[in-house]
Structure 1
Amino acid sequence: EVLERTIRVADRQLGKTVLECRDTPGFIANRLGSHWMAVAALEAFEAGLDVETADAIMSRPFGIPRTGVFGLFDLVGVNLVPLLWPVLTRALPADDAAQRYDLMGDRVFKHLLDNGLIGRRGPGGFTRRKNEAGEKVDEVIDLESLEYRARRQVTDPAGSAGDIAAVLAGDSDGSRYAWTVFAQVLDYACHIAPEVGDDVAAVDAGMELGYAWARGPFKLADAVGAAELLARYEAKGRAVPGLLAAAAKAGGFYPDADTVLSSSGEVVERRKVEGVLTVADAQRAHGVLAESESAAVVDLGDGVACLALRTKMNTCDAGVIEMVERALTLGEEGAFKALVIGSDHPRAFSAGANLATFTHFIESEDPEGLRELIRRGQVAFHALRNAAFPVVAAAKGFALGGGCELMLAANRVVTHAELYAGFPERSVGLLPAWGGTVQSLVRALGAGEPLPAASAFAVTTSCEVSTSAWQAADWHLLTDHDEVVASVHRVLAEAKAVALELLERGWTPPAPVELPLHSPDAEPLDAGWADASETDRAIVARIAGILTGGRPGATASEEDLLPLEVDAAVDLLQRPLNQERVWHLLRTNRPLAN
C-alpha cells in the first residue's frame, strides 16, 4: 500500500515517470550510464580519436544528446569523477565490467583534475569557451599534447552517420570505435538486466529518462537487428550474452508492439500504466479514419478521434492543413463526436509553421499562392474552433507560432505543466496569421483585461515563449477552463476525458463576440517601437493596425479581423528584409535581427 501510494504521488502529482527496479548500486541509469561514459572516453583515447570525432559519433548516430561523451563530462563536471566513480566501483563486485575502466588513473583525466579544468563550471575541461585572456573561443583539448587548440571539422564519416545501423556498418576508425563502445555497453546491459529490473524496457527507460537518450541500449540493438548483432558477435569470436541470444530467437528485445523480453530472456507482455493513452496504442486498437504523410485522424474509441501530426517536430505544412480540413469533414459526417489534437511526440505539440512551405511561393514570386495557403490555414483553424463537435488540444512541449495558433483553435486545452508556447513570428519576419492575433484579442477580452487590444498586441509582438503552463495562462494563451496535468504521459488520456465530458454536458459551439478595438485617438499600440529596426516596425505596425479601430469605441467580429491577418502576412512577405529573416532562420536555425 505504501509503495502504491508513493508511485501514485510521484506519477500523478509530481509528474515523474516511475521505474520499478531493485536496490542495487547506481540503480539503472547511473549504473549503465556511468559505465557508458567511462567506456566511451577511454576507448576514444585508445583508438586515437580526437574529442570532436568521439563526441560526433557518441551523439546523433546513437540518438544521444549533442554533448556526446566529453561534452557530458564537461556539463556535469569532471570534478565529480573522483567523487562518484570510486564510490560506484567500490560498491560493485570485483569482476564487474566497470572495474576495467580506471578513470582516476588515466593521464588525461589526471591532467584535467590536477589543473582545475573541471568543465563548464571552471576555466575549461575537454572543451573551453574562453581562453586565459577571457576571449571567446571554441577549443578542445588535444589528447596528445594536452594543450587547447581550435575545434576542427570532423572528417571521419562515422561522425555524420544518420543512425546506429549506418555508423556500425562503416569501415572507418570512427565506426570501429562505435562498435567497440556499443558492444561493451550492450554486453553490460545484458549482464546487469536481471540484477536491476524485471525487463529490458526498464533499462531502456532508465537511459532515456536519465541520460536523455532517444532510445536505450536494447532499442538500439533492435534498430540494428538482434539476429544481425548475434552474427557479428560470432564472426568476431565475441562471447554472446544470453539475453542477446534470447532476443535473436524471439525476434528482438521487443518482439512486437505488445511484448518485451524479461530480464531472464522470456517474452512477456509489456506493462501498461493505467490512465495512459498513446496514439500508437489507439491506432492499433481502433484504426485510422484518414492519414497522410503529414498527419492522421486516429480513432481513440468512445466516439473520440485524434488529429495527430506526423511531421518533424509536428510542424504545420500544407499536408497538415489538408488533414485539418479532412477532420472537419469527417466530423460533419458523423465519423466521430469529439476531436482531440495531440500526438506521441515527446517534445512538441507543434513547433510552428513549416517555413519551407512559404518559401516556395516567395521564390516563385507568387503572392496569390501564398495568400491562398495562409487563408486556408486560417479558415481551417477557425472552423475547428467553431465546429459542431468539441475540440480539445492535448498540448505538451513546444506550441510555437502556427503551433500555438493550432492550440488556440481548440475549445479546451489540456496541457503538461512544461509548456513552451508563444508567438516568435516577428523574429522570422511574420505575424500570427492563422488566427493567432485575433484569438489573442478574444482571450484577453475573456480574461477581463481592461485594455484587451493592448494585451493582445504585447503577446503577439514580444516573441517571448512561456516556460510553463502557468506563464502561458498569465498571457491568456490558456484560460480558466483549461487544465494542467503534471504527468506528460497522461495528457492525451485526460484530453480525451475532457472531450467526453464536454459531450456529456451537451456541446454547443462558442457564441460570436464583438471585440473592442484600440481607439485611434489613444497613443498608438506601436508607439514604443520607434527605435526598433525598420523590419520590426513594419511588423508591429501591421499588428497594431489589425487591433485598432477606425473610430473610438469601435468593435469588430472575428470574421472582420481575420482577413486583415492574411493581408498583413502576404504584404510583409513581399518585403526583402522580411524574406531575409525567413531565409536566415532556414539556413542557420537562428533568428536574424535585421
Structure 2
Amino acid sequence: MRTIKEMMDSDYSVEEDDAIVGEPMGRPKSAAFRTVDMVGLDTLVHIMNNCHEMLPDDEARDIFQVPQFINKMVERKQLGNKTKGGFYKKEKGADGKKQILVLDWKTGEYRPKEKVRIDSIKVAKNTDDPERRLREFVQADDRAGRFAWAVMADTLIYSGNRVGEICDDIVQIDRAMKWGYNWKAGPFEAWDIIGFKETCERMKQEGKQLPPIAAAVLEAGGEGFYQVADGRRQFFDLKTKTYQPVPVDELGIELKLVKQQRGEVDGNTSATLLDLGDGVLCCQFHSKMNSIDDDIVRMLNQGLDLLEKNDDYIGMVIGNQADNFCVGANVMLLLGNAMSGNWDDLEKAIKAFQDTCMRLKYSPKPVVAAPFAMTLGGGMEITMGADRICAHADLFMGQVELGVGLIPGGGGTKELLVRALEGIPEGVQNVNTIPYLQHVFEAIGMAKVTMSAYEAQAMRFLRPSDKIVTNLDHLIGSAKRLVQAMHLEGYQTPRRRKLALPGEMAHATFRMVIDSMCKQHQITEHEQVIAEKLAWVLCGGKTRPSIKVDEQYLLDLEREVFLFLLGTEKTQERIKHFLTTGKPLRN
C-alpha cells in the first residue's frame, strides 16, 4: 500500500516500482505489483477495505484507502493472473511472439513494458552481499534510491509503532515478514543493516517522528535493535528497556554467529570451514554467486582431510546461507583457459573436481549436502557427491550445462546414470537399460530444472532416503543432525558399484533418433553433436552389456567429452553469448 502511494505521489510507473521494491531491497523478485497479480487484486482490495474500516485510530489509516484507478481495475475485471490481466498482461505481438504489457495507471491502458534503467538498480544487481546491496541502495541519490528510502523509512516507523500492539517484541515482527513475505531481513534487522543511528538521524532531519522503541534504544545507548554478546544474539526489549537473548531454536543455526563464537577452522577467499559443534564440520561457500573455483575445491578437500585425520570430527555438512546454494562452475574461467589453449591445466582442474566429488561420496565419515534455491551444474554435482542430501523444499536443481554447449563434466552425467540404474538389482541379466538411459538423457539434454525438492526426488536427482526441510532456517541444523544420526548408526562407506551398460549398439539407436530430430529442425547441427556425445557417455562408449564398467571409467569418458565440446567454436560462442547477455544461444 505504501509503494502504491509513493508511485502516485511521485509519478513512477508500475515497472519502475517493481524494479525498486523487489530484489534490490531484499524482497522477492515478484516485488509489489507482480505479487498482486499472483494473489489477485480483488483480494488486495478486500484487505485494504477491511484495514481501513477496522483501524480507525491507526496513524496511517489513509494509506488503506483504495485508489480510484484500482477500483476501476476491479470493475474491468483486471484482477491479475486469474483473469489473464492485472498490472501486467501477456499477449502475442505483431510478430507472433509473446510480449509483456504493463498497465499505465494514469490512463488505465496497457502499453509495452519498458526496461528500467537507473544506475543504483544496476549497481544493486552487481552487488552480491545482500546487506551492502540494501545499505547502498537506500542511500543512493537517484530516482530509485529516493523511492526506496521513502518507502522504507515509513515502513520502519510503522513497524516500530506496532511493537507492543500486535506482538510483544521485534523478533516476532521480523520473523513474520521473513517467513510470511519472504523478505531477506525483517524491518528491524533492515534498520540495523542500513545503520541504526544514521537512519534515526536522517528521519529526524526530515521531520519524521521516531517510534517509541527506536527512541528507547537511543536513550539506552544501544547501537541497534540487535547485538551479539557472549556469542549469542540479543534483541532490544521495549518493556524492560534492556537487551534480551533471542529465543534459541535448536535447529536454527546461523553460520555468521558460529563464526563469531568459534572462529574459522580454515578458510580462503571462496570457502570457509566452520565447526558446528558436536564434532560436525561445515564447508561454507562464499565466492561470487557461490560459483565453483579452485579455492572451493581446495577447501572441500581440506575438510575431507580433517575428517580422515582427526577423530574429533564425525562428519561434515556442505552448506551456506547465501541467496543460492551454488550456481555451478565459473564458465568465464573455463572459456579463458580454453581460448588460451591451457588444455593441460583444464584437464587437471576438471579431474581434481571429479576426484573431490568422489572423495565426498566415499568418505570414511558421513558428508551431507544442504542445497537450497539455485543448485545448478557443478553445485548439483557436489550435492550428489555427498552420501546424503538434506534439501530445502524450495529447490531449483538441474544439470544445465547444455545451455552453454557442454555436458556435466564433474561427475554429474555419471552420477545421474548411477542413480537411474540403482533400481536394478545386481546380478539381474538381460535388462533393457535404454529407458533408464533415456531418462538421464532427457534430464541433461533438455537442461531440466526442478521447481521443488519433491520434484527433484521424483526425477531421481534426490534419493528417497534424502531429507526435505520446509523451514530454510532449519536447513543447516537439520543437516547437522543427519550427520550425527548417521554417525550414531555406525556409518559405513558406500560400496562401490559397477554398471552394465549397452555400449555401441545402443548408441547407434540414440544417434538415429538424434539425427531425425536434426533433420526435422528440432535441434541445431551443433546440438546434434552435443547430444551424440552425451549419448556416447551414457551408453558407456566402447563397451557391451556383458562387461561391467566402474565409475572412474565413466568419469574419464565424461571428462573427455567435456573437453572436446569446450574446444569447439560453437560451444565457445554459446559461452560468450551467455556471459554477455545471461541468455542461452542456440547455434
TM-score (norm 2): 0.86
What SS is found at the alignment partner of 1:350? coil
What SS is found at the alignment partner of 2:567? coil
CA 1:577 to 1:156, structure 2 compared with 1: closer, same or farther past 3 Å? closer
Matched, 1:193 2:163: yes
CA 1:457 to 1:383, structure 2 compared with 1: closer, same or farther past 3 Å? farther
1:309 to 285, 304, 315: 285
Q: Provide the residue aligned with 1:300 in structure 2.
A: 276
Give a deviation string over 1:9-35, Cα, whole Å, max 9, x none. xxxxxxxxxxxxxxxxxxxxxxxxxxx
Matched, 1:140 2:133: no
Cα contact 1:303–1:338 (8 A) shared by 2: yes
Give a deviation string over 1:412-432, Cα, whole Å, max 9, x none. 223334443332222221112
1:129 to 90, 106, 124: 90
- Deviation of the 1:48 alpha carbon: 2.1
- Select between 142-151 and 131-140 the one with higher mean Cα deviation: 131-140
Cα contact 1:444–1:452 (8 A) shared by 2: no
What SS is found at the alignment partner of 2:227? coil
* Separation (CA, whole Å) in 2 of partners of 1:155 and 1:442: 47
Q: Provide the residue aligned with 2:72 in structure 1.
A: 111
Give a deviation string over 1:286-309, Cα, whole Å, max 9, x none. 332111221111112222211121
1:339 to 309, 312, 315: 315
1:455 to 428, 436, 439: 436
Cα contact 2:317–2:480 (8 A) shared by 1: no
Q: Provide the residue aligned with 2:525 in structure 1.
A: 534
- Deviation of the 1:538 alpha carbon: 1.8
Give a deviation string over 1:471-520, Cα, whole Å, max 9, x none. 43344333354334444433333332332333344444333322212143
Give the partner amino acid of 1:262: D
Q: Provide the residue aligned with 1:120 in structure 2.
A: 81
Give the partner amino acid of 1:293: T
Q: Provide the residue aligned with 2:225 in structure 1.
A: 253
Matched, 1:151 2:113: yes
How many equivalent pairs are there? 555
Give the partner amino acid of 2:586: A
Higher relative contact order structure (alpha carbons within 8 Å, sequence separation ≥ 6): 1
1:443 to 416, 419, 433: 419
- Select between 163-172 and 299-308 the one with higher mean Cα deviation: 163-172
TM-score (norm 1): 0.85
RMSD: 2.8
CA 1:301 to 1:543, structure 2 compared with 1: closer, same or farther past 3 Å? same
Cα contact 1:441–1:515 (8 A) shared by 2: no
Give the partner amino acid of 1:48: D
Matched, 1:166 2:136: yes
- Deviation of the 1:574 alpha carbon: 1.0
Alignment of 1:81-480 (within 5 A): 81-92=44-55, 94-101=56-63, 103-104=65-66, 106-122=67-83, 124-130=85-91, 136-160=98-122, 162=124, 163-248=133-218, 249-256=221-228, 258-264=233-239, 266-334=242-310, 336-345=312-321, 348-448=324-424, 450-452=431-433, 455-456=436-437, 458-459=439-440, 460-480=444-464
Give the partner amino acid of 1:204: D
Cα contact 1:453–1:516 (8 A) shared by 2: no
- Deviation of the 1:569 alpha carbon: 0.5
- Select between 564-573 and 507-516 the one with higher mean Cα deviation: 507-516
Structure 1's unaligned 5+ residue stretches are 1-37
CA 1:505 to 1:453, structure 2 compared with 1: closer, same or farther past 3 Å? farther
Give the partner amino acid of 2:62: R
1:62 to 25, 48, 51: 25
Give the partner amino acid of 2:513: G
What SS is found at the alignment partner of 2:509? coil
What SS is found at the alignment partner of 2:325? strand
Matched, 1:524 2:530: no
* Separation (CA, whole Å) in 1 of partners of 2:35 and 2:251: 35
Give a deviation string over 1:130-151, Cα, whole Å, max 9, x none. 3899974433333444433333
Percent of residue pairs identical: 28
- Deviation of the 1:205 alpha carbon: 1.8
Cα contact 1:535–1:577 (8 A) shared by 2: yes
Cα contact 1:419–1:468 (8 A) shared by 2: yes
Alignment of 1:15-94 (within 5 A): 38-92=1-55, 94=56
CA 1:153 to 1:431, structure 2 compared with 1: closer, same or farther past 3 Å? closer
* Separation (CA, whole Å) in 2 of partners of 1:566 and 1:453: 22
CA 1:54 to 1:571, structure 2 compared with 1: closer, same or farther past 3 Å? same
Cα contact 2:49–2:64 (8 A) shared by 1: no
Cα contact 1:288–1:296 (8 A) shared by 2: yes
Cα contact 1:123–1:130 (8 A) shared by 2: no
Cα contact 1:454–1:525 (8 A) shared by 2: no
Cα contact 1:207–1:216 (8 A) shared by 2: yes
Q: Structure 1 stretches (4+) deviating beyond 6 angstroms?
A: 131-135
- Deviation of the 1:192 alpha carbon: 0.8
* Separation (CA, whole Å) in 2 of partners of 1:471 and 1:166: 38
Give the partner amino acid of 1:96: D
What SS is found at the alignment partner of 2:83? coil
CA 1:95 to 1:403, structure 2 compared with 1: closer, same or farther past 3 Å? same
* Separation (CA, whole Å) in 2 of partners of 1:258 and 1:270: 6
Cα contact 2:48–2:64 (8 A) shared by 1: no
Cα contact 1:304–1:337 (8 A) shared by 2: yes
Q: Provide the residue aligned with 2:478 in structure 1.
A: 494
Q: Provide the residue aligned with 1:564 in structure 2.
A: 557
